[in-house]
Amino acid sequence: MFKPSLSLVALAVSSCVVASESDPGIERIIVSGSRVIESIDEVPTSITVISQKQIEEHLMVNPELQSLLAQVVPGLAPDTGSSSNTGQSLRGRAPLVMIDGVPQSTPLRNGSLGVKTIDPSALARIEVIKGATSVYGNGASGGIINYITKQASTQGEHAGQVSLSSRFSAVKLQESAGARFSAGVNGKVGNIDYLVTASYEENGVQRDAEGDILGLQYGLSDTVTENYFTKLGYEIDEEKRLQFSYNFFSSQQKTDLGDVVGDINEGQKTFAIHVPEALQKQGKPQGPDGNENITLKYSDSNIFANSGMTLDVYAQDIENVFFFSPNLANPDEGYSGGQSIIRSEKKGARATFNTAVDFDNIEATFIYGIDALNDITSQPLVDGRIWVPEMDMQSLAGFLQTKWVISDDFIVKAGVRKENIDLTVDDYETLKVCRSATQCSVPVEVKGDTIDYDATTYNLAFKYNFSDKFSPFINYSQGSDIADIGRLLRAATVTDIGLIQTEASIIDNYEIGFNSTFEKVRFEVAAYRSTSELGTSNSFNEVTGVYEPVRAPQEIWGYEGLVDYQFSPSLSLLATYSYVEGKNTEADIYLGSRQISPPKATANLNWKPMDTLSLTVSYLYVGNRKRFEPNSEGDYVGDQGPISSYNIVNLSGQYQFADNWNAFMGIENLFNSDYYPARAQSYTYGGYNIKGLGTTANLGVTYQF
């Protein structure tokens, strides 16, 4: 006997569900875990869903998504305080960042800028699936961060919102005041619905607890950020829908400042000052330079018996500009440094089918389909030199995911994905780069070729909804990862690409945990372990001055927990703790902070004393991690610097003073803690030793119509 599943029903009404901000069910559904909408109660793995309300609360304090993710997601490394999420791993590995399932990361040359790719005002929620997965293909060795965009509301014909705010340093106001504007409008006319959002923000200078301007490397001072997002939908009938979406994002630092570079080994911070033009930040403005996404989606919730289908076609054009670095110098050719750009063009198509079958006491769901992707990525320098040659990846994959719900309480998930990847690289020569006149890499002519990757990955998971008070799960999942091939190519020391260790890494991920819900409190606890035979870390070559990739087996393990306590209808507390550790098991040495973050605890206290007023206090604790010894000169190298603990408290609130008007305020680093973020402490590379933001205030007003 056949009957429609929850997934199919939800697929048909998803636009209504997502559009409603107050709908309590919005946090109980996800799409990222299996590529179709399903209930969280039937997912046997760790998930964090960040609601639109949580996004808007954090937006009052800070518009940076990586700051929000670090505050709310257990297992995600602390915020870097910059535009780059390098070092902000998810359970010790790189996550794949997506917008509505379309990859934003550039895994072939991972520049760690994928988190900052859309404005929070365009989002309905964020879904974070933890642990290696092959559901979406290459680049998800640590899991998935999927930004789910807003849908047009079906309640009423037209609605919209406009918000104005200013963010400034409370330590030293001079030059720090910025301005932010965001607006959105949506509606439905007949069978056509639309949503348009726009945001524009100009930052002033950002200051630390001492009032000094933060260093400019990946900095946010004097940054101009623009985001324009639109979604158009056409309901062909009750079962069929056609949807088009477009996203434009740009965030570039346009400044007349220059850095005073310090040394973290000496306890000296890097900060910025006004300098003559010759000493100002060189090169093009750093940051995403007008990245674009276009997606066309067709869905049919009943294409054949008890089956739904979604077809996606997408294209993406990315150009991420990095800072000018003297380490890319070549005095022999007259280069005092260089500035790189990661360019990536993706074209993809995906067909996902969903079939539901009912066998007496067993409800079965089969999710299957085909993914095709062409990803062309390179990393040239602005001056025309080639650092990473063009990599042309052709990928074709088929997958089958199954879910079996037995007697409503016992869930079994099992799946397989077969991936075939061809990666073509033409002949190239590695770039000669010099840290000094006597410390230079040696160029190598490398013969190109087409590398074939064939990988089959599996997953198997169980969950038992014994009762609300105890719902345990266990899962095993694999991911196939050829991430950051570009870093291997640019540091090649052999003459044939076939001799470079470009093999794919298979990640085996094991997890066990449980969820418990009582009258006023909810617990989530999970422990995990992941292994890979060919992980990638760095080793500094003191002769050439180049950080060379090391391929070696890795083991990463950890645990995390969450407590959600509802003191009363107007007062609630959400607290998390996460711990992760990892080793190169071949050499029996700990992994550096590029992958492994220190322990992290967070707390968010929400109080709504009246219908028109709400307040939120958020707390972040980052613990110690001191796993490495200094070298013979007493200095730490690479990403092995010791991390000392620090604490940050934020405050935000909003007040509805008229029917359609809200005023809001946010204070970041309320007690003006003077600290280095975890990455700034552990990264000994030049220019990363930048202190955290001092007390910063944000004031604004929102009008809804």
Decide if 160 contacts 704 (C-beta within 8 A): yes
User: Can you list the positions of beta strands (E) in 465-599?
Assistant: 471-481, 505-517, 521-541, 546-568, 571-584, 589-590
Note the pLDDT of residue 554: 93
| pLDDT beneath 70, residues of the chain | 1-27, 154-156, 483, 536-549
Note the pLDDT of residue 536: 66
Note the pLDDT of residue 439: 87
Decide if 43 contacts 647 (C-beta within 8 A): no
Gap between the Cα atoms of 333 and 335, Å rounded: 6
Angle at 673 between CA 258 and CA 209, to 5 degrees: 30
pLDDT by residue (tens digit) across 614-671?
999 999 999 999 999 999 999 999 999 999 999 999 999 999 999 999 999 999 999 9
Note the pLDDT of residue 547: 60
CA dihedral angle for residue 352, residue 358, residue 359, residue 363, rounded to 10 degrees: 70
Q: Select from 121, 118, 106 the least CA-distant residue to 146.
A: 118
Note the pLDDT of residue 21: 36
Note the pLDDT of residue 540: 61
Q: Which domains does the chain have, with CATH numbers?
A: 6-281+288-437+461-704 (2.40.170.20)
Note the pLDDT of residue 157: 78
Q: What is the sign, positive or negative, of the torsion defined by CA atoms of 683, 685, 691, 692? A: negative
Note the pLDDT of residue 134: 79
Distances (CA, A) of 411 to 2, 26, 342, 364, 528: 19, 22, 43, 10, 20
* pTM of structure: 0.92
Note the pLDDT of residue 537: 63
Residue 649: burial class (beta carbons within 10 Å; 0-12, 13-18, 19+): middle
Decide if 499 contacts 446 (C-beta within 8 A): no
CA atoms within 13 A on the CB side of 223: 24
pLDDT by residue (tens digit) across 302-319?
999 899 999 999 999 999
Mean pLDDT of the chain: 90
Distances (CA, A) of 229 to 174, 184, 197, 242, 290: 33, 9, 5, 17, 13
Note the pLDDT of residue 545: 55
Note the pLDDT of residue 443: 94
pLDDT by residue (tens digit) across 557-611?
999 999 999 999 999 999 999 999 999 999 999 999 999 999 999 999 999 999 9
